[in-house]
Chains A and B, each alone.
Chain A
Amino acid sequence: MSTRVKVGTLFLNNSTGFAVAGGAATGESTTPWATRDANWTPQAPKPLAVWGGGPPFVAGRTLAYQSYDDVTEQIPLFLDATSHDDAANELQLLRTEVLRTVTGESTILEIKPDGATNSMYANIKTGWLQEETILESPVGGALRMRATLTIIRTPFFGRLSTGETLINALAFKNTGTGSPSNVRAFSAGVGDLIYEGSPLNCAIVLPAASAGPPAFITKVWVASIYSRTYSTTFSGTKTTSDTADGDVIGSSVSVSLTDALSKNLSARFMARLASASANAQFRVQVTMGPVIYTGPWVDNVGTATQLLDLGGFSLREIIRRSKGLTAPTMSVQFYIRSVSGSVSGNVTYGEVLLYYTFCELNLTQAAESSPGLLLDTFAEQTSVPCLPFQSERVITVSGTSFADIVRKKGRLPRYVSGASLYLAWMDDVTGDHTTTEQATATVTHAPLWKTFRGGA
């Protein structure tokens, strides 16, 4: 037995342990190829780090951002052939297989170490094959040629065809309380990026809007969160004519930030209104002693029920392990002001999200029929590796074909171990946020591995 190394349709290792001169490379037991190094393993992708700060002003630097580049892989090979022409033919087959990507789909690299349960898959972006010598000492009468296959492939390996399901057609209700609510925990995911954030495909079937036109949901918020604090203490009614700094509406709420000591989180503030005057604006102010964040003034949408995104900020650096500050909290307060004249607003509840990613989607078509709204981040079709697309997008799907591109702002949700999915929506043309509406979401995850996959 040996490690399975397969490029497209060609096996580069014979399952019997011996290459077959003149055999078909498309068969795992008949291939004339063999890896020269029996212990060959794929390269792990090196992080591409962007550093900040450091000497001469302070010892050590800060990791500002990190990503991964493609991997250049060298696979040393033997080719057993019956003749020169046979060898040349096999070389050509492998060369053309690697470069299908130029006019077709990426060639798939499959690796399954000897004894492993599962194969892992990467996409080959380009490559070249260089033979080194011709006609080594004959082995059993065959000709042996050394060659090196160099490929440039995707940074990670993935599984084939389907992601792992983390949320399976579960109902989400458009409110922050009760069961179901607008939050569902992800099932435990696998892979090497579960603490860095790995891609999710979300298929969301939205309800019809209860008012219109248009009679469909036009705004969706989706986030990968650590926690959500729902509170009716935020609620209150206020009338004001202040066009400057505004007036307090409702009461402030204290939110624990203890978990932000050990996690890289941001805070987001959502306000649910039962009604608001046309010229009213709302914002949030956050204090930890002094004011640490004042959000932008946000226009209300119509005069009826609505959910407003009041913005947010990163908790990095401001929450850190300072002596004695083991249980930090912040106080959150909503404000209302007027654009002109006397205005009023009625807040019914507020939500504070501690999140990893947050996104706003703006729809121009309904997404009420399965699969509905698709957050499209990795490939998920039969016989295709589940690997991230070069750019994420959001689309509405009608049946099995593409219907419309949805405008997104922010980052689509990613799987982080222990996180949950937050989903909220409204018709933001007329202003309609209905807390009894339900949507259905199915979330699949693309586990990604840097080298071996194991049994996952």
Chain B
Amino acid sequence: MTLLSDIGITIPLFGRGAAGVPSTTLAVADLAGRCDSYEHTIAARGGFESMRTGFKADLDEAIDIFNTWLGRSTVVSSPDAMTIWEGILAGISVTLGQRRRSISLDKLSNRLRCRYTDENGTTAVTSPTSNSASIALYGTKDAVVSASNITATQASGIAARALSQWKTPQQQPDTQITTGNLGDVSVDLLFRGWYWTLGWVVTSRTSTTTTATGTQIGALIATSGVGIGVTNPFLSTSTFNIGTTGRSPSEFIPPETAYQEKIEQLVSEGDGTDRWVLMCLENRELHFRKWAGATPDTIHYVANLGTHQVFTPQGRVVEPWDVRPDTMYQEVDLLTPAPVAGYDDATRQYVERVVCTVSNSRIGVTLEPQASDSLDVLLRGIS
């Protein structure tokens, strides 16, 4: 047994649902028993962000995985049966001795438009052209290509040619043919959180009505109307954890704007005073709330210099995989006698991202602070 399976982390793999919709049909009961390492990241911007794991395989199996596993999904659970991460298998790398092959959904596009200007300088966009077979496998993933000084027919041709190239996941080979040890056969899996799929589909909205931020976010993830769920019903439509900022920005969305871009623009408004964060977490539900840094005196995690563990302020152990971002963390050994105001004193920090690592030699979590406190970054609400 590996340390992962001995600890009790479970990494199931679910089959690809029709049109990429998350499925609960088990394809692999648990990968943990053969994985050499595990790492996940969860961020205040986006929630479940990435997960990597890998294992050794024989040649036939590695080739089969490379060819068939992309687009599957996982819900990772802790030894205490709680969900600690979930997302979609977005990239696979296989190392075959000296050869390395990677394939991912990053450059996949199966619905294309071409935004172009004609010889008169008039801007237009072609009707979308799509590949139904690719959409049936992965769901819809939009791309918009640009060109100028061309006719409508030429623009359609550009979109069609791009589609023929991008409709299947792209391979990135890295081949060395040289002397020396050939190495072994291994598989590395990269999963991305479901929040990432908000960037797959573009939309537009001509309405300039002002509507509450939370209401707009709820509409944009719905399975009706302007919601992305009409195209890719990947996320939960629950709005229970989408808070109310008191702000009502315009509903307008420029043409060919990704849902993620519009949603993040809404999020960046905050409540006019404080930053708000949006995370896609358990059950693919969106959580939209005021950031924890607004109340820096409320400490969620503490640690001592002499231990490897994270605790709650009351002394309860928090396992590395249970640590979450959008929290306040304090290093108690650095506390000074005099109170220090502000969220960025040396004893405490806002946790922007957590990185949990489990391997044979290391089990722990990194609590990353905000990468920047520049005014521009703060206004955009991103790090």
Residues of A participating in the B interface, judged by any CB pair closer than 8 Å = 48, 50-54, 57-58, 62, 64-65, 67, 266, 268, 288, 290-293, 296, 309, 311-314, 316-318, 339-340, 357-360, 388-394, 405-411
* CB-defined contacts of B370 to chain A, threshold 8 Å: none
Contact of B304 among A57, A312, A314, A394 (CB under 8 A): A57
A405 to B14, CA, bound (A): 11
Q: Is there a chain A Cβ closer than 8 Å to B250's Cβ?
A: no
Pairwise interchain contact A410-B79, C-beta atoms closer than 8 A = yes
- Assess A317 versus B311: contact at CB under 8 Å? Given A57-B304, A65-B363: yes
Q: What does the 1/0 interface line of B357-376 toward A look like (CB < 8 Å)?
A: 00011111000000000000
A393 to B309, CA, bound (A): 30
Q: Is there a chain A Cβ closer than 8 Å to B177's Cβ?
A: no
A394 to B12, CA, bound (A): 12
Among B30, B31, B311, the most chain A Cβ lie within 10 Å of the Cβ of B30
Contact of B5 among A65, A288, A391 (CB under 8 A): A391
Pairwise interchain contact B29-A394, C-beta atoms closer than 8 A = yes
Pairwise interchain contact A392-B33, C-beta atoms closer than 8 A = yes
A291 to B1, CA, bound (A): 37
Within 8 A of A (CB), among B312-341: 312, 314-317, 319, 333
Q: Could you write out 17 A-B pairs with CB less than 8 Å apart?
A: A52-B307, A53-B304, A58-B304, A62-B308, A65-B7, A290-B314, A292-B312, A313-B317, A316-B317, A339-B240, A358-B80, A360-B81, A389-B33, A392-B30, A407-B24, A409-B81, A411-B79
A316 to B333, CA, bound (A): 21
A67 to B10, CA, bound (A): 17
* CB-defined contacts of A359 to chain B, threshold 8 Å: 81
- Assess A67 versus B316: contact at CB under 8 Å? Given A50-B361, A311-B82, A317-B311: no
* CB-defined contacts of B33 to chain A, threshold 8 Å: 389-392
Other contacts beyond A393-B29, A408-B12: 11, CB < 8 A: A48-B360, A50-B3, A52-B308, A290-B314, A314-B317, A317-B317, A318-B317, A358-B81, A388-B1, A391-B30, A410-B81
Among A54, A288, A316, A407, the most chain B Cβ lie within 10 Å of the Cβ of A407
- Assess A410 versus B10: contact at CB under 8 Å? Given A50-B363, A309-B81, A317-B311: yes
Contact of A293 among B24, B305, B316 (CB under 8 A): B316
Chain B proximity of A295: nearest CB distance (Å): 10
Q: Is there a chain A Cβ closer than 8 Å to B174's Cβ?
A: no
Contact of B309 among A52, A67, A410 (CB under 8 A): A52
A358 to B79, CA, bound (A): 7
Q: What does the 1/0 interface line of B94-125 toward A look like (CB < 8 Å)?
A: 00000000000000000000000000000000
Pairwise interchain contact A391-B77, C-beta atoms closer than 8 A = no
Decide if the interface of chain A is mainly helix, strand, loop or mixed.
Answer: strand
Pairwise interchain contact B308-A407, C-beta atoms closer than 8 A = no
Q: Give the residue name and chain of the A residue nearest to B313 (CB).
A: A290
Pairwise interchain contact B32-A391, C-beta atoms closer than 8 A = yes
- Assess A67 versus B308: contact at CB under 8 Å? Given A314-B317, A390-B33: no
Q: What does the 1/0 interface line of B73-84 toward A look like (CB < 8 Å)?
A: 000011111110
A268 to B3, CA, bound (A): 24
Contact of B316 among A64, A292, A407 (CB under 8 A): A292
Pairwise interchain contact B362-A50, C-beta atoms closer than 8 A = yes
Chain B proximity of A208: nearest CB distance (Å): 22
Pairwise interchain contact B5-A313, C-beta atoms closer than 8 A = no
- Assess A62 versus B307: contact at CB under 8 Å? Given A358-B80, A390-B33: yes
Pairwise interchain contact B309-A407, C-beta atoms closer than 8 A = no
Q: Give the residue name and chain of the A residue nearest to B30 (CB).
A: A391
Pairwise interchain contact A266-B316, C-beta atoms closer than 8 A = no
* CB-defined contacts of B2 to chain A, threshold 8 Å: 67, 390
A411 to B311, CA, bound (A): 22
* CB-defined contacts of A360 to chain B, threshold 8 Å: 81
